[in-house]
Amino acid sequence: MSGEFSLIDKYFAHKQQSRKDVVLAQGDDCAIVAPSNGSHIAISTDTLVSGTHFLADADPAHIAHKALASNISDLVAMGASPAWVSMGISLPEMNASWLERFSSAFFKLADYYGIQLIGGDTTRGPLTITLTVQGLVPEGKALTRHGAESGDWIYVTGKLGDAKAGLDVILEKNISGDRELNSELQRRHFEATPRVLAGLALRDIASSAIDISDGLISDLGHILKRSNVGARLNVAELPFSDELVRFVGGTEAAQQYALTSGEEYELCFTVPEANRGQLEVALSTTPFTCIGRSPGLVS
Ligand code: ADP
Ligand code: MG
């Protein structure tokens, strides 16, 4: 697009301290990276389209946060530590204040997790953001969806349901009379962050993992299908916030939200009986809850 170079320079090029494993970032035909020996590279791409994944008039800071957080969440669900990101962005117009807010929020999160923007492409068109993230995982240590076995215990990190309630508020589908509660749940939707430390700590402990982006039922379903095992969930153990109960008006409704809410970027993972004891130490800074077991052994 015309003015592409100045736009890239102004908002996207060389805004971060370079990682040691980045040989060449923006400015040439390709970026060059140098992963250390013994590392595998995990790669994931996600596209966010205006009107489908966010409202056209959404705060650009929220769009940037969501785009990067959801991509980083895919990396950590594999046990990969975030390293590099490329951005394809299509913009309907050159809007300086929009770009300013978008890029500052993007780099704030990117710097926090040590992931470096190494390249991309900028075009004119309907607002769309495609990110390709790459992360590092020691050879053979990636957490997959296909490793769960009969008898494994099923866990989730954090609390579930707030992101769906926040989305209800944003879409004005369901709004509580309590304005502070509405805005708190909306904030939790927009500011959800990926469970990076937990994902890395689970490498040696979990048999499978996935990030919850479509809802627990659906995402746990992916693990079960790929691992070819079943699950018995203890719905009474589902973790959710007091704010969610207030918002939906009761425990049962909160459980429904916890089962179907996505985009809080919590992890769902399975752990073999033999590794259960290590969880407390490995996840010492992350809240987690056992919500069931893959049937096969009598508990
Ligand atoms: P090319 O003509 O080779 O496709 P471009 O003009 O598209 O190169 O981009 C010039 C440089 O700027 C490249 O190094 C590219 O990776 C980088 N770049 C373009 N758009 C973005 C963006 N949105 N974010 C980060 N880097 C970008
Ligand atoms: Mg290009």
28 CB within 6 A, ligand 1: yes
Ligand 1, atom 10, residue with closest C-alpha: 27
Residue nearest to ligand 1 atom 20, measured at CA: 121
Q: CA 299: distance to chain centroid?
A: 32
Asked if residue 228 has pLDDT above 60, the reply is: yes
pLDDT reported for residue 299: 47
pLDDT at 6: 87
Give yes or no on whether 2-138 and 153-293 have one common fold: no
* Size of the chain, expressed as the number of residues it contains: 299
Look at the block and give the residue holding tokens 């990276």. 33
Rounded to the nearest whole angstrom, what is the distance from the C-alpha of residue 4 to the centroid of ligand 1? Answer: 8
Atom 21 of ligand 1: nearest residue by CA position:
120
Percentage of the residues of the chain whose pLDDT score is greater than 70: 97
Task: Flag whether pLDDT at 113 surpasses 90.
Answer: yes
Centre of ligand 1 from the C-alpha of residue 120, in Å:
5
- Separation CA 131–CA 139 (nearest Å): 24
> Burial of 113 by CB count in 10 Å (0-12 exposed, 13-18 middle, 19+ buried)?
buried
Is 252 labelled a binding residue?
no
- The verdict on whether residue 121 carries a ligand-binding annotation is yes
Q: How much distance in Å is there from the Cα of 3 to the middle of ligand 2? A: 13
Give domain 153-293's CATH superfamily.
PurM-like C-terminal domain (3.90.650.10)
Residue 222 confidence (pLDDT) above 80: yes
- pLDDT exceeding 90 applies to what percent of the chain? 92
Any atom of ligand 1 within 6 Å of the Cβ of 26: yes
For residue 145, what are its two tokens?
């969806």
Task: Classify domain 2-138 at the CATH topology level.
Answer: 60s Ribosomal Protein L30; Chain: A; (3.30.1330)
Burial of 202 (0-12, 13-18, 19+ CB in 10 A): buried
Provide the mean pLDDT of the chain: 95
Number of H helices and E strands in the chain, helices first, is 10, 11
Counting from 1 in the atom list of ligand 1, the atom nearest the Cα of 122 is 20
3 CB within 6 A, ligand 1: no
- What tokens were used for 49? 């389209």
Using the atom order of ligand 1, give the atom closest to the CA of residue 88.
23
How is the chain split into domains, by residue range?
A: 2-138, 153-293
Q: Is the CB of 248 under 6 A from ligand 1?
A: no
Q: What is the pLDDT of residues 19-73, one digit of tens each?
A: 999 999 998 999 999 999 999 999 999 999 999 999 999 999 999 999 999 999 9
Q: Would you say the CB of residue 47 lies under 6 angstroms from ligand 1?
A: no
More confident residue, 295 or 198: 198
C-alpha 122 – ligand 2 centre gap (Å): 6
The reply, when asked if residue 178 is annotated as ligand binding, is no
